[in-house]
Amino acid sequence: MPLDPARLAMVRHLDDGGLEAQCPVCAASDGDSRGQHLRVFPDGRFACVAHAGDALHRKQIWAIAGDKSEGRPWVRPLSTSRTPPRVQACLEEMHVLRDRILGSPWTIEAIAAASPARIPASTADQVAAVLCLFKPTDVVWTGGLHDSGQAWHAKHFRTVQEWLQDGRPGPRISTCTFKPGSISRSQENVQRRRFLVVESDELDHAQQGAVVRWLMAGGLKLRAVVDTRGRSLHAWFDLPGKRSLEQLAIQLPALGMDSSLFNPVQPVRLPGWRRSDNSLCPRLLYLSPAP
């Protein structure tokens, strides 16, 4: 293999036999904190999705993490017959568009001013507004990161009606719905995926806003934006169709957005619960409820 996995950080093995890892070049400039930029394909080729088509960037990756027993850097372009042309074309397009998209910032203040619906003043009402993006009979999980998998976790799986009437939701929520009787926030228990949430720990707030606005211009319906009061904004979109979702899974990481939220059971923050790292409370910035 052209790269030595032992020289990489945050390595994850993928179902196709390849790897996902932190790009060592991006990491050297405080980027790719989630370890999602570097792809190593089953045949040994590799690329950084944030610098697609950049031969110099690949050489720098090899200089840091290359398997020197290969005798030379593997710098063959990603666009080979073994790479799907649609994927390569999409990556190259995003490489060209990235600066243009991120160069049109949308600030927190501007996002809040553009909200179609009034943002409730109380955090309890903000939580209710997020829950009401789902249907009343949807079974929704809310809780802490580890409130899943045991019999006593059944109380974290309730219909929206039940959460609004009896429970105290939070501090996190999944953006899909679950089968009645679920006790585990697992893929096999997902009944329906309702939303796509996009966020980034790499881009600043205004740059994340720029990506959100670009997605809106492309036809995605924005329902809510939660300021996590940390590094990221969580932008809730109506789930696009399968083909669009597959394309976004290529485009968004190339723009610096995190790919982890393409996992439908990945939890996101609800307003009102203090963070353990800075004691600040996430807040709702933007709301566009379904008619």
Residues 25 and 286: their CA atoms lie apart, in Å, by 35
pLDDT in tens, 106-153: 999 999 999 999 999 999 999 999 999 999 999 999 999 889 999 999
Most confident of 26-40, 44-58, 102-116: 102-116
pLDDT in tens, 164-189: 998 789 899 999 999 999 999 988 89
pLDDT at 67 over 80: no
pLDDT at 56 over 80: no
Token couple for 258: 């995190």
> Which residue in 233, 222, 219 sits closest to 271, CA to CA?
233
Query: How high is the pLDDT of residue 76?
Result: 39
Which contacts qualify for 90-97: CB closer than 8 Å, 24 or more apart? 90/247, 90/250, 90/251, 90/254, 91/47, 91/49, 91/52, 91/53, 91/250, 91/254, 92/52, 92/53, 94/52, 94/250, 94/251, 94/254, 94/255, 95/51, 95/52, 95/53, 95/54, 95/254
Residues 82 and 27: their CA atoms lie apart, in Å, by 28
Query: How high is the pLDDT of residue 80?
Result: 41
pLDDT in tens, 206-235: 999 999 999 999 999 999 999 999 999 999
Regarding predicted confidence, which is higher, 180 or 48? 180
* Crossing angle of helices 85-102 and 242-255, rounded to 10°: 50
Residues 14 and 259: their CA atoms lie apart, in Å, by 14
Query: How high is the pLDDT of residue 53?
Result: 66
pLDDT in tens, 147-170: 999 999 999 999 999 999 987 898
Give the range among 76-80, 112-116, 190-194 with minimum mean pLDDT.
Answer: 76-80
Looking at residue 277, what DSSP letter applies? Answer: T
Query: How high is the pLDDT of residue 46?
Result: 86
Mean pLDDT in the chain? 87
